[in-house]
Amino acid sequence: MAEFDNTKYDLPSDQADSGKLNKLRAAVLGANDGIVSVSSVVMGVAGATSDSRAITVAGMAALIAGALSMAVGEYVSVSSQSDAEKAYIDEEKKDLVENPEYELDELAREYMKHGVSTKLAHQVAVELTERDALRAHLRMHFNLDPDEINDPWHAAMASFVAFTLGGLVPFIAIVASPHHLRIPMTAAAVLVTLFAVGYLSAVAGGAGKTRAILRVMLGGMAAMAITYGVGVAFGASVA
């Protein structure tokens, strides 16, 4: 039998790539939320009134409130996840100290469930335990890397920045455009940005680019059109 190579069970490069893709995916989603949310608000207000000050104030409020909401939501979500992951780590540390033989046997059984022979499963378990028992158990039981615990503050700031950058596109477009070109220029700026977001989301998710781009662009267009129509109807009824 060929000698078992336990290096193939240590995949730091793959994990790093996965982490980068997850961060890219989160950034893309945050930017998309900012674009759609802020563009919907400013288009709705622009449909109701031509008052530049009202549009600016509404856009700024949507931008700030949305970014803060995203940051707080991400902080709470990631904090809950990281608390659970830390609890798993503490539990595994305790089990490894109190009953190492059982944990070794348990790890071998897990590999056997994946079709590895009894002898090889035990060999894998022994070698991985000698290298890093905690990491081996966390990967097998929870698909968790102890070095990849997310920081809730970093996640919150990333969401805040992504939403803000996305939301600035429609905000700047509608505030800086001439009055008579306000709607078409904002819509054009949003659609171009959504195209880029759709492309990046496809890259991050490994999906087909055409479908991802169309999904993002059509969703953004629908949101802008609906809120603009509501704004026009509301403005007409008030007038």
Higher per-residue confidence, 78 vs 10: 78
Least confident of 28-32, 76-80, 145-149, 221-225: 145-149
| pLDDT attached to residue 144 | 77
Q: What whole-number distance in Å separates Cα of residue 52 and Cα of residue 220?
A: 23
Q: How many residues does the chain have?
A: 239
| pLDDT attached to residue 19 | 57
Query: Token digits for 95?
Result: 């089990």
Residue 138: closest CA among 88, 190, 71, 99:
88
Instruction: For residue range 126-175, list pLDDT tens digits in order.
Output: 888 888 888 888 888 777 777 777 788 888 898 999 999 999 999 999 99
Identify whether the C-beta of residue 201 lies closer than 8 Å to the C-beta of residue 66.
Answer: no
pLDDT higher than 60, residue 13: no
Q: What whole-number distance in Å separates Cα of residue 49 and Cα of residue 45?
A: 6
Q: What whole-number distance in Å separates Cα of residue 206 and Cα of residue 202?
A: 6
Dump the DSSP string for 95-131.
Answer: HHHH-HHHHHHHHHHHHHHTT--HHHHHHHHHHHHHH
Instruction: For residue range 18-47, list pLDDT tens digits in order.
Output: 556 666 777 888 899 999 999 999 999 999
Q: What whole-number distance in Å separates Cα of residue 179 and Cα of residue 169?
A: 17
